[in-house]
A and B are shown apart, each in its own frame.
Chain A
Amino acid sequence: MSEGDIETRVRKIVVEHLGVEEEKVTENASFIDDLGADSLDTVELVMAFEEEFGIEIPDDAAETIQTFGDAVKFIKEAV
């Protein structure tokens, strides 16, 4: 799985779950501050990442995933 591929798939999940424009999902975009998510949305996002990539993201790690970039970085290391 290429790194670009991971980024594309993560972006697709974020766009679908948060109903935001693809262009807004940038490296530093915060799910809560920039993309309109609430705390429940972020729980669901993390679940969607787990599902898509067949990984487990523990709760303490999930709390550190605040931005699109955080998510991509974590997943690249986990897969």
Chain B
Amino acid sequence: MRRVVVTGLGMVSPLACGVEPTWRRLLDGQSGAGTISRFDASHLATDYACEVPRGDGSDDTFDADAWMEPKEQRKVDDFILYGVAAADQAIADAGIGDASDEEKLDIGVMIGSGIGGLQSIAETAVMIKERGPRRVSPFFIPGALINLVSGQVSIKHGFKGPNHAVVTACSTGAHAIGDAARLIQLGDADVMVAGGTESPISEIGIAGFNACKALSTKHRNDPERASRPWDADRDGFVMGEGAGVVVLEDYERAKARGAKIYAEVIGYGLSGDAHHITAPPPDHEGAERAMRAAVKRAGIDPSQIDYINAHGTSTMADTIEMGAVQRLLGDAAKNATMSSTKSSTGHLLGAAGAIEAIFSILAMRDQVAPPTLNLESPPEDAVIDLAPLKKVERKIDCVLSNSFGFGGTNAALIMRKVDA
């Protein structure tokens, strides 16, 4: 099978618009959390989240007009806006925008979302109730459908290869990158623009996850301290929003055109828990099987993994994941570093796996593991270094990124430096 490498990165995150500014702030230990500013959330059990900083583009804020005409923005939900912006960045970074018409037949898009246009659906439902069905916009459906991110990106850039979208809750981003890499390996495409996007910070989104008892609720006065993976005082995840998109490319094609190569996707594993709609089993053997499948596909020994970007959402499941990772690594666990960047960005749901794959790649590039913020009381059975509070500068040649979703769906990605 063909080798697949990453040649472009793009991101819109609660820390910043753009990959490099987000990465700088992540290493700097900044948090994207704050009291929700977009709507009055004071009546909800949780009134804080990690919102994308909107602005005029200065100080790395997200300027929507820079990515999409205002008249087009009206027609789409925010998750499409974020996805298109992150894809544009990745495409520019990879330098594939000027591909020939013939080459574009083999460039595809696979950008997923966990929930899609939740806010649009909520607003439209209210409007039908108040004013009747004739007031429904013709852009409501195409502005809310999950696969319309892939659709919009293909239309904008003329990419006529496979056009697909993943929907696997919080493992969407990782599944999209893994599945897209498979399409290249098998020859269905030469290049894939892949990732995830999400815009769940709305009254219906917060209320829905509150009802599942999934969100942190105890930090109204100090939201920056709310996302605390593995910490003894963790009380749920902090909602985030944004998008992460990578350009995946056939290695030979990338080499031939002299592309900048960030990493090679060497392993991808998938599994199902067959256990519960929202909770992992007590030993999360499903997560372990996904990781082992990725290791097997990569043809490496687990001890070769230097850094793990954990799913680590700041819920009770964190320590269950840690147990599965420590079983996978065995004695080598003491030599590896694992962190949860959700401590800084919050949980971007369907975009999480994509931005975290990007962070894992940058950890290899810069030989530094980003920190786990707010981890003041680590679990006693932690053998692995969880990078509490501060980044860890160390050798990182091979990385694993985990993502698990509601429904018991698991994805693990393993990437390696190409020259390693």
Contact = CB atoms under 8 A, between A and B. Distances in A.
A51 B134 CA distance: 11
A47 B136 CA distance: 9
Interface string B30-52: 00000000000000000000000
B71 interface: yes
Nearest to A45: B138
Contact of B135 (A17, A18, A40, A47): A47
Contacts, number: 20
A19 B137 contact: no
Task: Identify which of B71, B139, B142 gathers the most chain A CB atoms within 10 Å of its CB.
Answer: B71
A44 B137 CA distance: 6
A19 B69 contact: yes
A32 interface: no
A57 to B, nearest CB: 10
Contacts of B138: 40-41, 43-44, 47
A40 to B, nearest CB: 4
A40 B71 contact: no
B87 to A, nearest CB: 22
Nearest to B136: A47
A19 B74 CA distance: 11
B258 interface: no
A19 B70 contact: yes
Contacts of B139: 40, 44
Nearest to B69: A19
A27 B326 CA distance: 73
Contacts of A19: 69-71
Contacts of A51: 135
A47 B70 CA distance: 19
Contacts of B137: 44, 47
A43 B134 CA distance: 11
Contact of B71 (A17, A47, A50): A17
Contacts of A40: 138-139, 142
Contacts of A44: 137-139
A41 B137 CA distance: 10
Nearest to A51: B135
Contacts of A17: 71
Interface in B36-93: 69-71
Contacts of B142: 40
Interface of A: 16-19, 40-41, 43-44, 47, 50-51
Given A44-B137, A47-B135, 16 more contacts: A16-B71, A17-B71, A19-B69, A19-B70, A19-B71, A40-B138, A40-B139, A40-B142, A41-B138, A43-B138, A44-B138, A44-B139, A47-B134, A47-B137, A47-B138, A51-B135
9 contacts: A17-B71, A19-B71, A40-B142, A41-B138, A44-B138, A47-B134, A47-B137, A50-B134, A51-B135
The 6 A-B residue pairs with the shortest CB-CB distance, nearest first, are A19-B71, A43-B138, A40-B138, A44-B138, A19-B69, A44-B137
